[in-house]
A and B are shown apart, each in its own frame.
Chain A
Amino acid sequence: MNSELSATSHAYRDSARMVHPVAWLVWAGCAGLAAVTTTNPFYLLPLFASAWIVHSTHRTSGPAARSFRIFLLFAVWAITIRTGLVLLGPINQGSVANALLEGLRLGALLTVFGTFNSVADPFRVLKLAPRRWHESALAAALALSIAPRTIASVERVREAQRMRGIDIGRWSGLPSLAVPVLATGMDEAMTLAESMDARGHGRGTRTRYRPDRWSPAATAVTAIAGLAAAAFVAAAIGGWGGLEPSTFPLVWPEASPALVASALAFAAPALVAPGRRR
């Protein structure tokens, strides 16, 4: 309960180390690009870990940050499903390994996205969106902010319905979970949208209160992410580095030190972690 936790003050970040939302966007884009180019676990696993440590050190205290776990679970689920589907067909090590790696890539993308969601306040990013994209950016920001709150309500609904003796596990129990969760989610979305409307959203020329400053930290994050992504792109174009290791036969994929270092470099933002409690 929020009120019960009010004793812990999650003081906001030290603004000197704050990373501009656009820098996060660039970081996420570059990390995502790197993930897309490869299924090599020697590159993907460090990418996962980089996203995780960036999330740990830079997460905001909003509900979006709590949803990182959801993205991680989603990633694991994607990997499992992807591998599991293969098991339905003719099984051999190579195809299973192949599916696992494909799933790993998808999982890495989800995790990077989850990190972006938790370190950059979606509405701050929204404010920077050019007018033309404003509507879609608004929809995305609304969805991103509502989703974690909705997900949080799943547990409470589940509890209440279980108490009534409703078996949530079966298909027939699904409406008892879905209807309240979705209805509450929609209500919250409506309330938020109402509030934005009532406070003049989309009214006309806007001013900025305290614009995010572009700090040296932001430059560092952008530069490192850009270089790391460039390495992967170069490897993809040049055909080196073992970006798509063969799973047949099942042997250790190659690992280019340059690409490994690049994958690890995506963890660099963790080094400019914001100060903690004041």
Chain B
Amino acid sequence: MKTAVRFDDVTFFYPERAEPALVGCTLDLPEGAFVLAAGETGAGKSTLLRAINGLVPHFSGGDFSGRVTVEGRDTVDHPPRRLADVVSFVPQGPAASFVLDRVEDELAYAMENLGVPPAAMRRRVEETLDLLAIEPLRERSVRSLSGGEQQRVAIAAALTANPRVLVLDEPTSQLDPQGAEDVLAALQRLVHDLGLTVVIAEHRLERVAGFVDVVVGCRRGIPPIVGGAAEVLRELGLGPPVARLGVLVGWDPPPLTVRAARRDAVHLQLGESPRRVRPPRGDDLVTTHDLGASFGPLNALREVNLALASGEVVALMGRNGAGKTTLLRCLAGLHEPRPGMVSAHGAAPRAGLDVALCPQDPDMVLFRDTVADEVRATRAARRRGHQEVLHRFGIEDLQAIHPRDLSAGQRLLVAAAAIVATGAPVVLFDEPTRGLDASSKRRLIEFMRSHAANGGAVMFATHDVELAAEVAGRVVMLAAGEVIADGSPADVLGDSPVFAPQMARVFGAGWLTPEEVAAAVVPA
């Protein structure tokens, strides 16, 4: 099979960095392969992706050695614009990468630059609109689209250039499960029907592990390992929940999809599904009464009645646009309830005192030179001392490092620490999943558990079903601004076709995490 992308012993240092972002990277990606770049944040996935289309080294600068060849072209000799006809790149969070205002114009942008004749441009735009099912959006302003729609438009805009290789950086991180599925299905179709080579970086392995052909396992400071999904993921210690289960119960190779897991589980006998012991529910820390909220004529929330009690960890889920962020902001006292009310101990919640909200983008919060200074900048931390907060997130060893030198997941933890340092008993997280790699996720989970155990309450909005399954004691589901479900994860997620965690899909509604399942296995 022909090679689409070849790396020959590539080592790369970003400007003024002592540690290399890529080391001795050698790989051979065949044409028509669906390739996954996996690994912790900071291990070099983004760099790898950008090396394919020449942004590394032409846009980034730095020290580049080795060779990358794409469809026969050497990326050192060809700057990104010279590769634009064979490689297309979709960065993370595509909203920031849109150049023009109208969807149709955005699709045509790359073709205009490439000098494609107008007749061909018209044809390709129409075809791509159909391919990604976005024809009804053609006249819309890109800013007015939902996250999922934006993602599809970005992919469409990348496709019109007729590339041979399509590179996407975390294309599903902001999408709800259904949206993610749509996008990944579209990508699969491209691989199968058009023979495109698709390279994606992704953390949520449960979404992609099933259909990737090649996995590049990036590791910090050493060359990546390349191979089939099963072996590489096992080597990295990563994998979707079914793979983790496989490792726990000794399936070899561990399954990567729900389907494969079902096959393997045929002979498995399970004891009783654990009735997850809900920790005693303490006093209500913040409650809402018929809460409504609106943006002008739009109703974002409608008659929401819920309460957060001490000791709870609650997952807030729902489609993009269902009102999760608005609800969190109302709870934090940042958005005016109209009508209805939110109360914490009888009065409106005071932001930073009763309730603290950690924003989605940690970079919105970080401004000091070291992690310790950052946490100390929060006023309450000066009194209380910052060491304790650092410890709760397991980041004491990062104290003296400049936050911007940390990986995305670590930055999220620092921002969370800075917010938690306010001492508010109720801590809210707005989709803490961008760039959240496995180790940061672990630390976040531990924080949530300990915070609730110490009498606080945590609510986090998320699309990550597995995260909810693992740590939440309660799940609230929103749709079109209303609460449509509020209960235990088993009840709410267990049999949902869209939101069910993998364990539930394999074993039934009562099962949420691999650890639970493994613990209940009846020895044969």
Contact between chain A and chain B defined by CB under 8 Å: yes
B356-A9 in contact (CB<8A): no
A-B residue pairs in contact (CB < 8 Å), sample of 12: A156-B364, A157-B364, A164-B378, A165-B378, A166-B379, A179-B366, A180-B365, A187-B363, A188-B96, A209-B104, A209-B125, A210-B104
Q: How far is the CA of A107 from the CA of B79 in the complex (A)?
A: 44
Q: How far is the CA of A278 from the CA of B138 in the complex (A)?
A: 13
Please provide the chain B residues from 100 to 142 with a CB less than 8 Å away from any CB of chain A in the complex. Answer: 100-102, 104-105, 108-118, 121-122, 125, 139-141
Choose from A3, A61, A203 the contact partner of B114 (Cβ within 8 Å).
A203
Q: Which residues on B sit within 8 Å (CB–CB) of A210?
A: 104-105, 108, 122
Q: Is residue A205 contacting chain B, with contact meaning CB distance below 8 A?
A: yes
Chain B 129-169 interface 0/1 with A at a Cβ cutoff of 8 Å (1 = within)? 00000000001110111110110000001100100000000
Given contacts A195-B99, A197-B59, contact A208 B144 (CB under 8 A): no
Given contacts A60-B101, A209-B105, contact A162 B351 (CB under 8 A): yes
B367-A62 in contact (CB<8A): no
Please provide the chain A residues from 1 to 57 with a CB less than 8 Å away from any CB of chain B in the complex. Answer: 1-12
Nearest residue (CB) in A for B95 is A2
Q: Is residue A94 contacting chain B, with contact meaning CB distance below 8 A?
A: no
Given contacts A1-B325, A5-B295, contact A153 B91 (CB under 8 A): no
A3-B147 in contact (CB<8A): yes
Q: How far is the CA of A210 from the CA of B111 in the complex (A)?
A: 12
Choose from A8, A60, A197 the contact partner of B298 (Cβ within 8 Å).
A8
Q: Is residue B84 contacting chain A, with contact meaning CB distance below 8 A?
A: yes
Least distance between B178 CB and chain A CB atoms (Å): 13
Given contacts A4-B300, A207-B112, A207-B116, contact A62 B364 (CB under 8 A): no
B144-A8 in contact (CB<8A): yes
Interface size of A as a range: 35 or more
Q: Is residue A214 contacting chain B, with contact meaning CB distance below 8 A?
A: no
Q: Which residues on B sit within 8 Å (CB–CB) of A191?
A: 91, 93, 96-97
B378-A166 in contact (CB<8A): yes
B146-A198 in contact (CB<8A): no
Q: Is residue B88 contacting chain A, with contact meaning CB distance below 8 A?
A: yes
A198-B80 in contact (CB<8A): yes
B96-A163 in contact (CB<8A): no
Choose from A165, A193, A203 the contact partner of B82 (Cβ within 8 Å).
A203
Q: Is residue A123 contacting chain B, with contact meaning CB distance below 8 A?
A: yes
Given contacts A156-B359, A198-B84, contact A12 B102 (CB under 8 A): yes
Q: Is residue B380 contacting chain A, with contact meaning CB distance below 8 A?
A: yes
Q: How many residues from B make CB contacts under 8 Å with A?
A: 82
Q: Please provide the 3 A-B residue pairs with the shortest distance between their CB atoms, ordered closest to farther.
A: A165-B379, A200-B84, A200-B113
Q: Is residue B421 contacting chain A, with contact meaning CB distance below 8 A?
A: yes
Q: How far is the CA of A183 from the CA of B157 in the complex (A)?
A: 27
Choose from B325, B332, B351, B363 the contact partner of A183 (Cβ within 8 Å).
B363
Please provide the chain B residues from 42 to 76 with a CB less than 8 Å away from any CB of chain A in the complex. Answer: 53, 55, 58-59
Q: Which residues on B sit within 8 Å (CB–CB) of A159?
A: 334, 351
Q: Which residues on B sit within 8 Å (CB–CB) of A198?
A: 53, 55, 80-81, 84, 87-89
Q: How far is the CA of A193 from the CA of B367 in the complex (A)?
A: 24
Nearest residue (CB) in B for A278 is B139
Nearest residue (CB) in A for B361 is A184
Q: Is residue B517 contacting chain A, with contact meaning CB distance below 8 A?
A: no
Given contacts A3-B147, A8-B144, A12-B139, contact A163 B356 (CB under 8 A): yes
Q: How far is the CA of A121 from the CA of B143 in the complex (A)?
A: 13
Chain B 368-404 interface 0/1 with A at a Cβ cutoff of 8 Å (1 = within)? 0000000001111000000000000000000000001
Given contacts A166-B379, A198-B89, contact A10 B363 (CB under 8 A): no
Least distance between B290 CB and chain A CB atoms (Å): 20
Q: Which residues on A sit within 8 Å (CB–CB) of B113?
A: 199-203, 206
Q: How far is the CA of A166 from the CA of B84 in the complex (A)?
A: 46
B115-A206 in contact (CB<8A): yes
Q: Is residue A124 contacting chain B, with contact meaning CB distance below 8 A?
A: yes
